[in-house]
Every structure is written in C-alpha cells, then in structure tokens.
Amino acid sequence: MYTKTNSDGGLVPAFGGGNLADLEILTADKTLQSYDSGKTFLLKAAAGKTVLLPALTKGFNAKFIIGAAFATSNWVLTNPSAVIQGSVIVNGANVAVANKTNINFVNTADSLGDWVSIVCDGTNVYVSGNAIIAGAVTVS
C-alpha cells in the first residue's frame, strides 16, 4: 500500500500510487511556499483572508475552493507582480485575465464550490476557474 504525508504531517493511504488530494483548510492569512504545490485549499473563514502566492516557480500549481460563506471581506489570492494570466468562467461568462496581481473571491457573491486553479511556468501564473454568481470572482 502506498502512503502520502498530509498537511498535518500524518501518513494517509494513497491508493493507486498517490491519488488522494492534499487538502488544506484555510481559516487565516497564508503565505504559500513552493512545497505547497499540488495542494487544494478549502477557503473556510467567516471573513475573507489573503493568500500570498509563492515566488514564481516552474510547475507550481494549486486549487482554491470556497468551502464556507464569508460575509465581511473578500478572499484575495495575490502575487507580487502583474503576471496572472488566463480566464475564469463567472455566471456563464468568460472573464479574461491579463497581467493582473490579484484574484478576488467577492464576499457579496460567493457560493460554496466556486473555485480557481493556478499553474506557474516560471514566468507567468495561469488561472482557470468557475463561479456561479455574476461578480463572484474578479481580477485586479
């Protein structure tokens, strides 16, 4: 049987050679490191927080999912430089992303399960995702 170390340092079964998601629940601000690559982050706080993306690292990837309604402020994924590219489907409409620094989950339009994924090629951070309600995910 294969095992994998989870975010709490424990060993968990990894059937099929490591197919279990490395899930981390976020309830506070977080600065990501290159070793956070491959994780899925469940955003679960009553008020939004800030997630600082790591230094540009080829191959870094992560997924962020709304796991609890948040009422007073946005969840913000932020990068120090304007290198976020790609697109997100929001309420059925394609939102183009070019040379941005922030991805915002907006507190007045959040829905459980809204998500974005990012992947870095060492130069740019590429985003894709889906949100149900208009204005739920914005970029700036």
3-class DSSP state for residue 91?
Answer: coil
The stretch 36-43 carries a mean pLDDT of 95
How far apart, in Å, are the Cα atoms of 119 and each of 88, 89, 107, 130? 14, 17, 24, 16
Lowest mean pLDDT among 30-34, 44-48, 75-79, 91-95: 44-48
pLDDT over 80 (residue 115): yes
2 vs 30, residue with greater confidence = 30
Given this model, what pLDDT does residue 21 score? 72
Give how many domains the chain has, as a whole number.
1
The stretch 99-112 carries a mean pLDDT of 96
Given this model, what pLDDT does residue 22 score? 85
Lowest mean pLDDT among 4-8, 72-76, 127-131: 4-8
Given this model, what pLDDT does residue 78 score? 97
Q: Which residues pair with 120 in a beta bridge?
A: 125
Domain containing 22 equals 3-139
Length of the chain: 140
Q: Which long-range contacts (CB under 8 A, 24 or more apart) does 26-30 make?
A: 26/51
Instruction: Answer yes or no: pTM beyond 0.95.
Output: no
Task: Name the percent of the chain lying above pLDDT 70.
Answer: 86
